Amino acid sequence: IDIAKLSEGQPVSITLDALPDAVIGGHIDRISPTPVSSTGITSYKVTVVVDETNAALRSGLSATASITTDELRDIVLLPNRAIQIDRSSGRALVEKIVNGVPTTTEVQLGSRNEQYSQILSGVEAGDELAIRSGGGLDQLRSTMFGGG
């Protein structure tokens, strides 16, 4: 997470490895102003406070904290494996099915994470795409996510 997207008081959802279906609410209490560098990676210590007492929460339990830093609505998302980046030009390309034929199409990317990329232009919700797999091309339909 980009430290600039965090702020004190920001909500945090905590899940315990021992109880993966239980979500415990919390918030960011403090963000250290001093970075810590280790093996070329810079990080900041963030202190999270649990908002309510929970009997399941015990010292020593492993937990995962989730912090929402961006919320996008009414967007087209594609799995990153559907997107090819041209090494020479840096353009993002997909194989869009046009009249039944895979056609290389440039797309403009927005927000990304490890699995998905937001598509700003070049593909619309409902377009059919081909994804390269081990033996050829698989088809997929682009989908609009979000609501409101």
Instruction: Answer yes or no: same fold for 3-66 and 75-145.
Output: no
Q: Give the chain as a 3 state SS string.
A: CCHHHCCCCCEEEEEECCEEEEEEEEEEEEECCCCEEECCEEECCEEEEECCCCCCCCCCCCEEEECCCCCCCCEEEEEHHHCEECCCCCCEEEEEEECCEEEEEEEEEEEECCCEEEEEECCCCCCEEEEEECCEEEEEECEEECCC
Would you state the CATH architecture of domain 3-66? Beta Barrel (2.40)
Domain regions of the chain by residue span: 3-66, 75-145
Q: Look at residue 148 in the predicted model and tell me its pLDDT.
A: 45
Confidence check: pLDDT of 7 > 80: yes
Domain covering 75-145, topology: 2.40.420
Region 28-49: mean pLDDT is 93
The pLDDT value recorded for residue 98 is 92
Q: What is the pLDDT of residues 125-145, one digit of tens each?
A: 889 998 866 555 555 555 545
